[in-house]
């Protein structure tokens, strides 16, 4: 049996999180490591997963800081590239009174979007089974899109499970216009898709039909989040089951928590999800035959990871370890009754 690992591909960047002095009203920005796929890599590493991050940062103070932080949290960074062609991406994050975020990105261009398709190497995948994870922020320009599809194709070649978190940031796209056909082509390659309802309505007028279409093709699991509302998930009926061609549904309620910062909530959710899948079903074949009880357990674990994270500030530091997820799981279990 091959050892299992997770590869998260895409952007690692600096989150400058706003903090207002209540006396002077002056706003300062505190530096945190961030970037959605980097956050997922850290979240999985904190759960004991053999977690790798692949991407490119600037050969600058911020880039080296990010590599050090990833490594410090147990993420393998051997395949992270340093470049002098562009600087490390920056994001300035402000929070409203409910802990909801708004972003201002400095990324035109930045080191992460200059990653090239031929940087992918078969040795990343050949000796393991595992999960290859990406987000839509690697689709915002032609070259990084080509690289993303090349990585997915190589992962598929070696029988890996492919995960996509839609994670739309419209202000990263040229003229703030999403390339919907490109995003849909990307999702068509995925076995596991996670989306928020807010994101999905930017891609389709028929949410249910969109989910069914994906599940009729490669997708084995579609997860739909909607803030504090229950997390809904959908799986396809596999060959040999009654009703083949239909979809199965599940729902996990979220606990009430003291929300401080939602910056890494979705990434913590995905990291928890993929951590459980590396344990239970790190290949499409294994994923396809998961039972509903198993899926409930996986989604419940992911919900607990996300719920814990919003009670903390920042990204990497806020992501929970195994003990913290287990503690939050008791709250998640209590609201299912």
Distance between CA atoms of residues 192 and 298, nearest Å: 13
Distance between CA atoms of residues 62 and 35, nearest Å: 13
Q: How far is CA 185 from the centre of its chain?
A: 18
The pLDDT score that the predictor gives to residue 101 is: 65
Q: Who's near 102: CB < 8 A, 6+ residues apart?
A: 93, 94, 96
pTM: 0.93
27 DSSP β-pair partners: 20
The pLDDT score that the predictor gives to residue 242 is: 47
Could you read off the pLDDT of 243-259 as tens digits, one per residue? 555 678 999 999 999 99
Distance between the two ends of the chain, CA-based, in angstroms? 39
The pLDDT score that the predictor gives to residue 294 is: 95
Residue ranges of the chain with per-residue pLDDT less than 70 = 1, 97-101, 237-246, 337
CATH code assigned to 7-334: 3.40.1190.20
Tally DSSP H helices, then E strands, for the chain.
10, 14
Could you read off the pLDDT of 138-147 as tens digits, one per residue? 999 999 999 9
Q: Who's near 269: CB < 8 A, 6+ residues apart?
A: 194, 225, 302, 303, 305, 306
129 DSSP β-pair partners: 4
How many other C-beta atoms lie within 10 A of the C-beta of residue 174? 10
């Amino acid at each position: 049996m091959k050892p299992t690992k997770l590869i998260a591909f895409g952007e690692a960047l600096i989150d400058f999180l706003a903090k207002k002095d209540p006396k002077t009203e002056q706003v300062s920005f505190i530096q945190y490591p961030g970037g959605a796929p980097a956050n997922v890599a850290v979240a999985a590493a904190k759960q004991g997963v053999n977690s790798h991050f692949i991407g490119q940062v600037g050969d600058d103070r911020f880039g080296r800081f990010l590599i050090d932080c990833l490594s410090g949290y147990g993420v393998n960074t051997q395949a992270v590239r340093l470049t002098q062609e562009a600087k490390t991406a920056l994001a300035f994050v402000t929070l409203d009174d409910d802990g909801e975020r708004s972003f201002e990105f400095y990324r035109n261009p930045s080191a992460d979007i200059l990653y090239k398709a031929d940087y992918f190497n078969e040795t990343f995948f050949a000796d393991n089974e595992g999960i290859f994870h990406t987000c839509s922020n690697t689709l915002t320009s032609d070259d990084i899109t080509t690289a993303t599809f090349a990585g997915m194709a190589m992962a598929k070649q070696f029988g890996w499970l492919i995960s996509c978190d839609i994670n739309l940031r419209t202000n990263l796209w040229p003229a703030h216009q999403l390339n919907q056909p490109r995003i849909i082509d990307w999702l068509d390659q995925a076995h596991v898709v996670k989306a928020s309802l807010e994101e999905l309505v930017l891609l389709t007028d028929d949410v249910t039909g969109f989910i069914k279409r994906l599940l009729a093709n490669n997708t084995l699991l579609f997860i739909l989040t909607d803030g504090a509302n229950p997390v809904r998930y959908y799986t396809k009926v596999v060959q040999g089951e009654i009703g083949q061609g239909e979809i199965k549904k599940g729902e996990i309620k979220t606990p009430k928590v003291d929300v401080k910062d939602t910056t890494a909530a979705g990434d913590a959710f995905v990291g928890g999800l993929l951590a459980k899948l590396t344990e239970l079903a790190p290949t499409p074949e294994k994923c396809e035959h998961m039972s509903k009880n198993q899926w409930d357990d996986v989604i419940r674990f992911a919900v607990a990871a996300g719920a814990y994270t919003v009670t903390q500030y920042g990204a990497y530091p806020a992501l929970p370890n195994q003990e913290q997820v287990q503690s939050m799981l008791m709250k998640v279990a209590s609201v299912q009754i």
